[in-house]
Amino acid sequence: MAVEKRVNDLVSRLTLEEKVAQMLNVTPAIDRLGIPAYDWWNECLHGVARTSFKVTSYPQAIGMAATFDVEAMHTMGDYTAEEGRAIYNESVRNNDHKRYLGLTYWTPNINIFRDPRWGRGQETYGEDPFLTATLAKAFVTGLQGNDPKYLKAAGCAKHYAIHSGPEPSRHVFDVKVSDHDLWDTYLPAFHELVVNAKVAGVMCAYNAYAGQPCCGNDKLMINILRDDWKFTGYVTSDCGAIDDFWQRHKTSPDAESAATDAVLHGTDVECGNVSYKTLVKAVKDGALNEKDIDVSLRRLFMIRFRLGMFDPPEMVSFAKIPTSVLESQAHRDHALKMARESIVLLRNASPPGKENNLLPLSKNLKKIAVLGPNADNANTQLGNYNGQPSVVTTVLQGIKDKIGDTMKIFYSRATNFVDTTDPDFTKLIDSVRDADVLIYVGGISPRLEGEEMKVSQQGFSGGDRTSIALPTVQTDFLKKLKATGKPVIFIMMTGSAISIPWESENIPAIINAWYGGQAAGKAVADVLFGDYDPSGRLPVTFYRSDDDLPSFDDYSMANRTYRYFKGQPLYPFGFGLSFTSFRYSNLTLSKTTIKENESLKGEVTVTNTGKYEGDEVVQLYIVHPGIETAPISALKSFKRIALEKGAKQKITFTITPETLKLINAKGENIFPRGTVKVIVCGSSPGKRSAELGASKEAEAELILK
């Protein structure tokens, strides 16, 4: 029997009360029909999360974005689904149907990280719509698998559609955004997952847009998602979002009308246990028809059937995955690979009195000092929405493992993340004066930034940041380390951009290691001592100061992100140094003129001109000079390549009409006439990238007819 017929038959056998109970995220068993209990809520942001099983933990999402590695993202999604299946299979055998054991993962978070103060930005793939869409598609297709009949696991694009803080006001905020910004920035990644990646689920956001809550929004939920994009999957509310209709947004007078509104807008599951319980009464009151309930039930059971939940295990290959895959060697190796690829080398200069760059370090040093609140901090490395691996290698442990007994290590936590006192570091500084190099591992922590947190410290509030500056105590300590005359390395762990103007001028080596997952310490040690050439690239702009930022609650993209920021960043989007160097040359286009229905081929040669083998992330940007609504530049293609020293590789790319189209002020997709620039380089183009020593650009002009 076809799945659709099985679903329709099952729904027809349910009572109204049973149907409504299946529309809450915690669904009861219906024994008379053989339907087991199920909780729709599960997470796998960077590995299976919040389970009691030991699992593989990859870098936080923002760190995975820094890899610019599409294949690695796809593999990570596949490995995550494999571990999730093993946990689900074991739980079914044990008749355990609690939360965080199911196969419907509320991941990925594809909101655009428009403002570095947003604490949940760490869960995203950065500030660029194209990078976000590309990596999210790779993750979702890896997670959901390619079986023609069954989903390996079910992804969920969240938070639809315009949601990026502030955290404390997310339940009441009504976003005002232009049609240009809506279609140019906030919707492309959702379109890619719904239309092209065929994501199973969508989560609608807490906030309102244009006067209507997102989960009950005419334009977002009906006109765009269901009518234009033809989405047939399920929609879940964010947790408690339907209650917000009547409790906070005040767009509905009570729970019954809120639930009715949400269902009629296509929200199939309420994450919560209040508002949707009134749906039985809503049907009996005539507020909606039982057939409206049936529409949601069919979507929900279609997902469960596609996951193989109602078929014998012998029919579903994924049902045979054993728990032995948890933390398998291949998965652990991949966590290390992605941790290495995520590391961004921001600065590598020569220390005072030295000729060579500070990094990589010699393995013949006598003593090093490892300092800082993140030097031996496993919790920071795991980020948020994380699982618990059996082993987490911190930076301190990674360095110890790397050098063995060959040199002496001095360790101290040294500072807190934030400190409003004036600590005396005299004794500590005296203890490290005989070290050959001083390594300070600071930054911030997922205990300070994240989702709706009860945190109120200097620079942080409610999960967000009130300042992007590195906390003063850390800069003060780094100044004291520099004053010793010893070489200083600053390693940052963070989920977002940090303003470090003093450090960028005074500390010879700066590494951004994000929240790098279980293998972050080994990855950092590999970079420090030259066993891995750093190749991560920034998925967000690092601004110079808070003065560069518009108001946090302003969702206009004016002067935000590399695409529209008119100032000079501290470190630009797409930037990252290497121990080696790369040259771009011989950029050629198969045509110099193109019409709206045409495509063209391009080619550029990339040469490793340095002394190390390494990876380069080749980035293609399009610039539309003189068009007011156009981005300053926009990423349209990228590819990570590996080159031996002295080797060269020809990179080919295709420019399609879609690559060249723009969004006008009305939100319409247009093909602009005129001249555009095609720039291929190792960072977002601009003066600042050149100043920092990014790979030289190759540029060509193209006329659009």
Q: Can you say how many angstroms the Cα of residue 162 is from the centroid of all Cα atoms in its chain?
A: 16
- Please indicate whether residue 285 is annotated as part of the active site: no
| Cβ atoms of 409 and 147 closer than 8 Å | no
Closest C-alpha among 517, 437, 496, 571 to residue 119: 496
Measured CA to CA in angstroms, residue 124 lies from 61, 110, 687 at distances of 6, 6, 27
Residues 6+ apart with CB under 8 A from 501: 544, 545, 570
| Cβ atoms of 433 and 484 closer than 8 Å | yes
Residues 6+ apart with CB under 8 A from 456: 462
Q: In sequence order, what are the beta bridge partners of 469?
A: 499
Spatial separation of the C-alpha atoms in residues 69 and 611, rounded to whole Å: 23
Write down the catalytic residue from 449, 464, 548, 697: 449
Spatial separation of the C-alpha atoms in residues 215 and 205, rounded to whole Å: 7
- Please indicate whether residue 174 is annotated as part of the active site: no
Write down the catalytic residue from 238, 270, 341, 615: 238
Q: Phi and psi dihedrals of 134, rounded to 5?
A: -65, -45
Residues 6+ apart with CB under 8 A from 197: 136, 137, 140, 141, 144, 155
Measured CA to CA in angstroms, residue 699 lies from 9, 26, 588, 621 at distances of 60, 55, 9, 10
Cis peptide before 534 (omega within 30 of 0): no
CB-based burial, 607-644: b 16+ in 10 Å, e otherwise: bbbbebebbbbbbbbbbbeeeebbbbbbbbbbbbbebe
Angle at 138 between CA 134 and CA 143, to 5 degrees: 145
Q: Can you say how many angstroms the Cα of residue 322 is from the centroid of all Cα atoms in its chain?
A: 29
Could you list the active site residues? 238, 449
